[in-house]
Structure 1
């Protein structure tokens, strides 16, 4: 039994196809199939039911796959131990970021990070929170930046910053004369929201104490852009809420329509999350230190009330 054989087993279990698993493992299909077959012969069991399309993991195979994940992770930890002992911070690190954070946060920290840690090959992917959680669990990404708390058993959450919600209220809106906003001022019926699937959308709905599924009487908007929401608000279709960092790049005319909340301001907690097995922890800590240091200078400290992205 070898680590390579176990890695091939995990790839087949994930893709349910020997050809695709071989492609993702950068080996030929006959090589991968032969190594999986050798392992099955050694254990005298079938890990995969090849008569099914797509290929299915057998009942005993499911137990083998779970144990294989543990063994491969522990093998990877050995390299981490050596790197930490040598003080080496480098290698490949796959970082996921949710769409409502990526455009504002990435330009703030990326140049500083790659200059400070030139030996790290940082691969960045924009995905939804749900996809990021699944990919961390499956070992496809090393860490992610998302809105928390999530309170998922296999994840660790390290808060990076707390980002207040800010109202964008055009001149024709009922709240145009309000100097400051309160959550009780909000009416979900006249708030423009991001499309379903965005955690910021869920946070706004939770702030308004509204069921997640609600009907818009006039139209349904499927947009992932805060810029689109602002432009629609300017057309008299309602107001919207946007994260604080998104307000920094608005032009002066649009900034006149911004209204902050009375303290404690509703805010979202943005955290760096990763698997509890803590692989590549030295890179994770380097990311956290750089991002926290930079964002602290952009968001002034204030009393905030964290709005959960998951309705807790």
Structure 2
């Protein structure tokens, strides 16, 4: 069997459809089907149960796919070894970034990175955390920037910085006159949240639940953007929490409504994450160094308490 044949097997295992897998592999469906049939004939087993819709892996097929992933990864590592030996930092690099980090962090490092490493073709996707984990595990991303810890078995995490939460409090709120606030001042009934699927929302829920105050309000407002949450708060519909970097470019009128937390400040851990196979590690290291260089002056908080993005069960 060949590496290409194993790549076809992995594509069908992922997409559960021969036609779609063929499109993703840029071959015709008959070609892909024939090559997979050759693998099954050679091994004298069935990798896929074609009688089911969508196509399912057989029990032995699950084991073969897991091993095929290892083989394909190790084959790709050969080019990595050559690139590192030559000191070459280039080629396609697929990076995922969660929505609550992308608008503030990406403009800080992107220009520096592409100028320093012009041979890298950086392909950036804005994705939620679950999609990032899935794409990392399936080999469709080389790395990502996300809130951690995620505690994923096949993923490594390198902490880039700790970003505190900042409260946005309208004048009519009972804590507006406080210089600093604490977690005990938060009431989940009053907090405007991002839509489901945002790990920032999960972090806030974990933060608020730690003070014993639960949600009882008779309406629920959720939005996909911090800008909308700020406008809703200005209308007197509640308060919201923002990541620190997002507050830096707010107009002065809005900044007057920001309330810092007392130390240790609740914060999220922002990390560069990548598969444990460490493919393209030389580009990952270059990306980490670039971000570290530009973020150093913007994030200087040390005494923080990390709030996990993983939902509390």
Match of 1:136 in 2: 136
The 1:213/1:304 distance shift into structure 2, 3 A limit, reads: closer
Provide the rounded CA distance (Å) in 2 between the counterparts of 1:212 and 1:86.
Answer: 57
Quote how far apart the aligned CAs of 1:268 are.
Answer: 0.5
Provide the rounded CA distance (Å) in 1 between the counterparts of 2:212 and 2:205.
Answer: 6
Q: Which runs of 5+ in 2 are unaligned?
A: none
Indicate yes or no: 2:82 matched with 1:82. yes
Tell me the alpha carbon deviations over residues 70-103 of structure 1, each in whole angstroms, 9 at most, x when there is no partner.
Answer: 1001101111111111111111111111111111
Quote how far apart the aligned CAs of 1:53 are.
Answer: 2.2
Provide the rounded CA distance (Å) in 2 between the counterparts of 1:48 and 1:308.
Answer: 38
TM-score by length of 1: 0.96
Indicate yes or no: 2:189 matched with 1:189. yes
Quote how far apart the aligned CAs of 1:300 are.
Answer: 2.3
The 1:72/1:211 distance shift into structure 2, 3 A limit, reads: farther
TM-score by length of 2: 0.96
Tell me the alpha carbon deviations over residues 77-133 of structure 1, each in whole angstroms, 9 at most, x when there is no partner.
Answer: 111111111111111111111111111111111111111111111111111111111
Provide the rounded CA distance (Å) in 2 between the counterparts of 1:274 and 1:289.
Answer: 15
Match of 1:277 in 2: 277
Match of 2:208 in 1: 208
Give the SS at the match of 2:67: helix
Work out whether residues 183 and 211 of structure 2, in 8 Å CA contact, stay in contact via their aligned partners in 1. no
Quote how far apart the aligned CAs of 1:282 are.
Answer: 0.6
Indicate yes or no: 2:33 matched with 1:33. yes
Match of 1:105 in 2: 105
Indicate yes or no: 2:290 matched with 1:287. no
Quote how far apart the aligned CAs of 1:191 are.
Answer: 1.3
Work out whether residues 83 and 89 of structure 2, in 8 Å CA contact, stay in contact via their aligned partners in 1. yes
Give the SS at the match of 2:222: coil
Give the SS at the match of 1:260: strand
Quote how far apart the aligned CAs of 1:50 are.
Answer: 2.0
Match of 2:237 in 1: 237
Give the SS at the match of 2:96: strand
Provide the rounded CA distance (Å) in 2 between the counterparts of 1:60 and 1:308.
Answer: 37
Tell me the alpha carbon deviations over residues 122-173 of structure 1, each in whole angstroms, 9 at most, x when there is no partner.
Answer: 1111111111111111111111111111112111110001101111111111
Match of 2:23 in 1: 23
When the two structures are aligned, how many residues end up with a matched partner? 312
Give the SS at the match of 2:159: strand
Match of 1:4 in 2: 4
Provide the rounded CA distance (Å) in 1 between the counterparts of 2:171 and 2:214.
Answer: 26
Quote how far apart the aligned CAs of 1:215 are.
Answer: 4.2
Indicate yes or no: 2:99 matched with 1:94. no
Match of 1:261 in 2: 261
Provide the rounded CA distance (Å) in 2 between the counterparts of 1:177 and 1:269.
Answer: 29
The 1:173/1:212 distance shift into structure 2, 3 A limit, reads: closer
Give the SS at the match of 1:161: strand
Indicate yes or no: 2:34 matched with 1:43. no
Provide the rounded CA distance (Å) in 2 between the counterparts of 1:14 and 1:88.
Answer: 32
Runs (4 or more) in structure 1 with deviation over 6 Å come to none
Work out whether residues 205 and 212 of structure 1, in 8 Å CA contact, stay in contact via their aligned partners in 2. no
Question: Structure 1 residues 204-213 or 270-279, which shifts more?
Answer: 204-213
Give the SS at the match of 2:173: coil
Work out whether residues 208 and 214 of structure 2, in 8 Å CA contact, stay in contact via their aligned partners in 1. no
